C-alpha cells in the first residue's frame, strides 16, 4: 500500500479522494482532462429506475461561499446506464466505481441496486436517501431512522457488494439515522448531502430557483459537514465517507481527523474540473508538514 492508500469496505483505494455524485457525470467526460485512474474512485451520477428529465429551470444559483442546485436527479435510467454509460466508462477508468442510486420507493431502490450489483465495474452501491431536490423521494427516507433502516434492509437483501448509505444533514439527529442504517446492515455511511436552502431575486421578488428551494453545497457547508462526520464516526463502527464543502487537501485532512476513512469532493469539481487531481497532488506535502508517514494514521485522530 502506498502512502495515500486507504481501505473502503475491504477494497483498497490508492488515495482517499473521490469525486461526489452529481458533480462528475458518469466519469468519461473528465477523461479528456486527466487520467481517471489517478482518483481513488468516484461516485457516478444518481441513477433511478426510469429516465428523469429533472426539475424545471432555472435550477442552479450562486450563493455566498457556495451554490444552490435543484437539478432533480436528471439521469437516463438504470438500464441505459448499464447498456451505454458503463461500457464507455470501462474504456477510461480501470478501477471499481461507486454506483449512486436514488429512488421514490423502497422497491425502486432495491430494483436499481439489484441491477447495478451484477455489474463487474461496480465496487460499491451508494444509496442516496438524502436528496432534497425531489418531491416524494430521497430525503423523505433519510429523515426517519425507521424508513432509512427499511431501505437499507431491502437493498442488502438483493445485493452482494458493499452498501453505503448517503445521509441528509436536514435532520435534528443525524446519529440516530446513521445508527439505524448500520444496525440494518449498511457497510458504510457517507455524509453529508446538500443543505436545504433558497435565494430570492430582488427584481422579481420571487425565488431564484424554479423549484423554490435547492441544496446548498460548497465551502459554506464544510463546518457543518465536519461536525456531522465527527459525530457519526464516533457512533458507528462501519467506515464513514466525509463530504460537504471539501475544496483542498487541508479539508481532506480535517475530514479524516474527524473520522472519515475517505473523502468525497463535490461542488469544487464544478468550479475547477482538476480539483481532485490538485488535491491528490497536494496531500503528500500536507502530511510532511504534519510529520505523518501514512494517511491512515490520521483517521479519527482528532478524537484523542
* CA–CA distance, 185 with 192 (Å, rounded to integer): 19
% of the chain with per-residue pLDDT over 90: 91
The yes-or-no answer on residue 131 being catalytic is yes
Tens of pLDDT, residues 139-189: 578 889 999 999 999 999 999 999 999 999 999 999 999 999 999 999 999
pLDDT of residue 127: 97
Residue 172: burial class (beta carbons within 10 Å; 0-12, 13-18, 19+): exposed
Does residue 195 carry a pLDDT above 70? yes
pLDDT of residue 286: 98
Average pLDDT, the chain: 95
> Which band of pLDDT confidence, cut at 50, 70 and 90, is reported for residue 278?
very high
Does residue 298 carry a pLDDT above 70? yes
Tens of pLDDT, residues 228-238: 999 999 999 99
Select which of 113, 131, 181, 276 is catalytic: 131
- Tally of CB atoms within 10 A around 155: 26
Place of cell 455524509: 191
pLDDT of residue 137: 52
pLDDT of residue 138: 52
Tens of pLDDT, residues 7-36: 999 999 999 999 999 999 999 999 999 999
Q: Taking Cα atoms as reference points, which of 11, 19, 15, 13 lies closest to residue 43?
A: 19
User: Is the distance from CB of 103 to CB of 48 less than 8 angstroms?
Assistant: yes
Candidate CATH numbers 3.30.70.20, 3.40.50.720, 3.90.1510.10, 3.20.20.70; the one for domain 6-303: 3.20.20.70
Q: Taking Cα atoms as reference points, which of 290, 174, 149 lies closest to residue 230?
A: 174
Reduced to 3 states (helix: H, G, I; strand: E, B; else coil), residue 161 is coil
Question: Looking at residues 262-267, what average pLDDT do you find?
Answer: 98
* CA–CA distance, 175 with 165 (Å, rounded to integer): 13
Tens of pLDDT, residues 81-95: 999 999 999 999 999
Place of cell 448499464: 82
> Which band of pLDDT confidence, cut at 50, 70 and 90, is reported for residue 214?
very high
**Whole-prediction pTM value?**
0.96
Amino acid at each position: 500500500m502506498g502512502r495515500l492508500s486507504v481501505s473502503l469496505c475491504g477494497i483498497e483505494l490508492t488515495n482517499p479522494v473521490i469525486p461526489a455524485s452529481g458533480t462528475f457525470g458518469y466519469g468519461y467526460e473528465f477523461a479528456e482532462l486527466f487520467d481517471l485512474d489517478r482518483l481513488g474512485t468516484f461516485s457516478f451520477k444518481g441513477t433511478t429506475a426510469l429516465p428523469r428529465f429533472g426539475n424545471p429551470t432555472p435550477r442552479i444559483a450562486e450563493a455566498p461561499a457556495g451554490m444552490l442546485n435543484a437539478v432533480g436527479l436528471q439521469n437516463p435510467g438504470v438500464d441505459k446506464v448499464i447498456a451505454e454509460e458503463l461500457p464507455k466508462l470501462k474504456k477510461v477508468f480501470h478501477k471499481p466505481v461507486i454506483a449512486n442510486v436514488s429512488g421514490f420507493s423502497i422497491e425502486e431502490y432495491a430494483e436499481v441496486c439489484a441491477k447495478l450489483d451484477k455489474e463487474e465495474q461496480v465496487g460499491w452501491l451508494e444509496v442516496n436517501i438524502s436528496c432534497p431536490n425531489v418531491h416524494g423521494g430521497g430525503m423523505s427516507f433519510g429523515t426517519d431512522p425507521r424508513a432509512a433502516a427499511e431501505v437499507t434492509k431491502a437493498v442488502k437483501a438483493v445485493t452482494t457488494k458493499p452498501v453505503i448509505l448517503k445521509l441528509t444533514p436536514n435532520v435534528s439527529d443525524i446519529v440516530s439515522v446513521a445508527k439505524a442504517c448500520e444496525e440494518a446492515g449498511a457497510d458504510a455511511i457517507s455524509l453529508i448531502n446538500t443543505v436545504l436552502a433558497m435565494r430570492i431575486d430582488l427584481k422579481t421578488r420571487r425565488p431564484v430557483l424554479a423549484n423554490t428551494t435547492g441544496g446548498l453545497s460548497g465551502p459554506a457547508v464544510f463546518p457543518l459537514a465536519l461536525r456531522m462526520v465527527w459525530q457519526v464516526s464516533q457512533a458507528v463502527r462501519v467506515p464513514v465517507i466525509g463530504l460537504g464543502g471539501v475544496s483542498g487537501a487541508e479539508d481532506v485532512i480535517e475530514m479524516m481527523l474527524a473520522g472519515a476513512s475517505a473523502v468525497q469532493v463535490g461542488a469544487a469539481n464544478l468550479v475547477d474540473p482538476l480539483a481532485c487531481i490538485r488535491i491528490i497532488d497536494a496531500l503528500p506535502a500536507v502530511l510532511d508538514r504534519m510529520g505523518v508517514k501514512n494517511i491512515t494514521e490520521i483517521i479519527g485522530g482528532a478524537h484523542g
